[in-house]
Structure 1
Amino acid sequence: MTDVKTSPGFLHLHALNGGGEWLHMCIKHRETSAYLMEVAMLDDLVVDAMIEEDTRSRVRVLDDGIMVLLKAMHVGQDMARPEDMVSIRIWIDKTRVITTREADVDPILALHQRLSAGAGPTTPGEFLADLIEEHLDEVDDHIEELEDAVNRIEGLVGTHQTEAACPNMAQTQSRISGFLRHLGPQKPVLEHLSRCKHSLLSERERTRIDDGLDQLLRYLETLQNLRDRVEILNDQVARIQDRQLTRSSFVFSVVATLFLPLGFIVSAFGVNLMGVPFEGHANGFTILMVICLALVAGMLVLFRWRKWF
């Protein structure tokens, strides 16, 4: 495959330690499609899937090879942002590994570095198993970040810091849903590969893929558990806010109830007519204030006796 180095879509070509070759190409160049079809002689349906921009994780097993499409973490992503997961497309046959991408992903970079250092997989089947392991190990760090984020939100909700918890909760819930959306379709892919009796996959490689499936299932269970915890926290925040609103409404109601008779009395004494009580009394204002305070005290005693607050 050395002739591919002149293609605009060429990224790198590595020799596998067992004698095969790994070709990595970019789908952003239309020459990539022509090379895969006319020179690499891949099936036209395989080529269409290998150059498609928006793909869903799936597997296609043919007599002469296996095509696998996965979603992997974008290179250099420090935060758990599933919206940055991009497609990686792999074709393996007896002597070749061909991968295509629209953007660099961490598992491909890791294998590139290992092969450049003289290590790495020796066969196409081992390459596929290694790639799946690298991909799942990369996801593991982001799942741990999400668990830490949910634990922090639980601490905030436990101390009734709802204003600080709500923005974090929305972002975390969005990331959890994104990972479930991208990782969920990979379950049937790994199930198919772990049971696939193809000559390209040895018993050991199928076992490694089965271990990867177990790891993926644990991730999906963890993500579902985190989603349930966030939903429970969301309900707790709603109840806390409802109680706060109810308490505030009750306080306003009590204050309004206290001032309603006081407003009536003050209004009655404020009319500019003859015959207002205590009009000519020297201590009329003091008497009025004493009556108002006594009325407030009496209402407070009544509210406490009836356990209205």
Structure 2
Amino acid sequence: MPKRIKSRKSKIGVAPGSLIHVGEHVNDDVKIQLISYNEDIFNKASYENIEKCLSACNNDAINWINVDGLHEVEVISSAGKRFNIHPLILEDILNTTQRPKIDIDNNYIFIVIKMLYYNKDIKEIESEQVSIIILKNYILSFQEFQGDIFDDLRRRLEYNKSNIRSKGTDYLAYSLIDTIVDSYFDIIENIGDSIDEIEDILMSNPSNEILNDIYKFKRELIFLRNSVWPLREVLGKLVKSEYELIDDKTVMYLRDVYDHTIQVVDIIETYRDILSGMLDTYLSSISNKTNEVMKILTIFSTIFIPLSFLTGIYGMNFDYIPELKFKYGYLVFWIITIFCILVMLNYFRRKKWL
């Protein structure tokens, strides 16, 4: 299981707004990509230096600056100084333990969202924090690692007849959020398939491995819910409030993402209920198996009670026990024994205990 609660010891006692990276440290270099576009132009380039990237921005176009890697604090600091971003916002970007949230400023909107992946090999959800800053002609996005789910979006931007090329930064931010939310459905579909497999095995052969899988997916769904539920609040603020950076036409699209988020949460709750029911089914199956074993043992014990009584009586060492010298005593004993067994088995069958 990946470690999802990251240590924040480095943040203890430091001043607010201190730029300290909290999260997984990687050895890869920070990758900076700039996409500048409008209806007529499209330029895409990668940079190793944030200053070169900022100087290459086109003020007459929409500029999407994407930073992969948060371990080089100077990159975040330089971008913050260039766009006059509050130090507390920069601190939140570097602190990858944030829940989805939104902060509104007069000049920008800051959004934190969780980008999730489903690892089919270990059947676990892996998480990455994405921070988005919406400005007048700029979108800044900060990711923990290289590689994301935005390749289709980049291809849409490159296609000169795409509707997104005529929109502003608010529509690009919507597209980023929409892509992430759509990926949640793929995760839910994979989890749903695994739950169906567990349910089939549970009905045929419940085992300790199945119990472990049930608890594992309950934990995964809790983690998924904690990543998605706060996003409703973020989108709710964008939809219900009026901001200069959010066009009225984009609000309709944001409402659609909000509805998708609610749908994801509803499916998560449904799967949690299903897993809880499966856990009850597992416990009932184990209890039924135990009861079946106890029933068989009880029946055999009951059958041997009269036999033990007979053998106990004729096993006593008294001189004048009846039938002690009887020639066919042993044969009669077995006849009586078998008769008692047959009578009791027939009685158990009539009572449907067997």
TM-score, normalising length: structure 1: 0.84
Deviation at 1:280, TM superposition (A): 3.8
**Corresponding residue to 1:246 among 275, 291, 294:** 291
C-alpha separation in 2, matches of 1:55 and 1:222: 24
Q: Is the 8 A contact 2:77 2:90 kept in 1?
A: no
1:8-45 Cα distance to aligned partner (Å, 9 max, x none): 63421211336121112221112123213333431212
Cα–Cα, structure 1 residues 104 and 202, in superposed 2: closer, same or farther, change >3 Å?
A: same
Aligned counterpart, 1:217: 262
C-alpha separation in 2, matches of 1:195 and 1:104: 34
Tell me the amino acid that sits aligned with residue 178 of structure 2.
E
What does 1:42-53 align with in structure 2 at a 5 Å threshold? 42-53=85-96
Cα–Cα, structure 1 residues 306 and 208, in superposed 2: closer, same or farther, change >3 Å?
A: closer
Aligned counterpart, 1:14: 35
What's the secondary structure of 2:300's corresponding residue?
Answer: helix
Structure 2 unaligned blocks of 5 or more: 1-28, 40-60
Deviation at 1:302, TM superposition (A): 4.7
What does 1:16-31 align with in structure 2 at a 5 Å threshold? 16-17=37-38, 19-25=61-67, 26-31=69-74
What does 1:2-151 align with in structure 2 at a 5 Å threshold? 9-17=30-38, 19-25=61-67, 26-74=69-117, 77-78=119-120, 83-104=125-146, 106-115=148-157, 121-122=164-165, 123-151=168-196
Structure 1 unaligned blocks of 5 or more: 1-7
C-alpha separation in 1, matches of 2:33 and 2:322: 101
**Corresponding residue to 1:257 among 297, 302, 306:** 302
Deviation at 1:206, TM superposition (A): 1.2
C-alpha separation in 1, matches of 2:234 and 2:322: 91
C-alpha separation in 2, matches of 1:88 and 1:121: 21
What's the secondary structure of 1:184's corresponding residue?
Answer: helix
Structure 2 residue 277 is the aligned partner of structure 1 residue 232: yes
Aligned residues: 300
Q: Is the 8 A contact 2:116 2:125 kept in 1?
A: no
Q: Is the 8 A contact 1:81 1:175 kept in 2?
A: no
TM-score, normalising length: structure 2: 0.74
C-alpha separation in 2, matches of 1:270 and 1:109: 88
Aligned counterpart, 1:205: 250
Cα–Cα, structure 1 residues 266 and 117, in superposed 2: closer, same or farther, change >3 Å?
A: farther
Structure 2 residue 221 is the aligned partner of structure 1 residue 176: yes
C-alpha separation in 1, matches of 2:339 and 2:271: 56
Structure 2 residue 205 is the aligned partner of structure 1 residue 161: yes
Deviation at 1:112, TM superposition (A): 4.1
1:51-74 Cα distance to aligned partner (Å, 9 max, x none): 212111001111101111000124
Cα–Cα, structure 1 residues 116 and 27, in superposed 2: closer, same or farther, change >3 Å?
A: farther
C-alpha separation in 1, matches of 2:298 and 2:278: 30
Cα–Cα, structure 1 residues 203 and 107, in superposed 2: closer, same or farther, change >3 Å?
A: farther
Question: Aligned Cα RMSD in Å?
Answer: 2.9
Deviation at 1:234, TM superposition (A): 2.2
Cα–Cα, structure 1 residues 37 and 141, in superposed 2: closer, same or farther, change >3 Å?
A: closer
C-alpha separation in 2, matches of 1:150 and 1:77: 15
Tell me the amino acid that sits aligned with residue 218 of structure 1.
Q
Tell me the amino acid that sits aligned with residue 203 of structure 1.
D
The structure with more helix, counted as a fraction of residues: 1
Cα–Cα, structure 1 residues 220 and 291, in superposed 2: closer, same or farther, change >3 Å?
A: same
Q: Is the 8 A contact 1:110 1:134 kept in 2?
A: no
Identical aligned pairs, as a percentage?
A: 17
Q: Is the 8 A contact 1:94 1:124 kept in 2?
A: yes
- Identify which range, 215-224 or 290-299, moves more after superposition: 290-299
Tell me the amino acid that sits aligned with residue 55 of structure 1.
Q
Aligned counterpart, 1:3: none
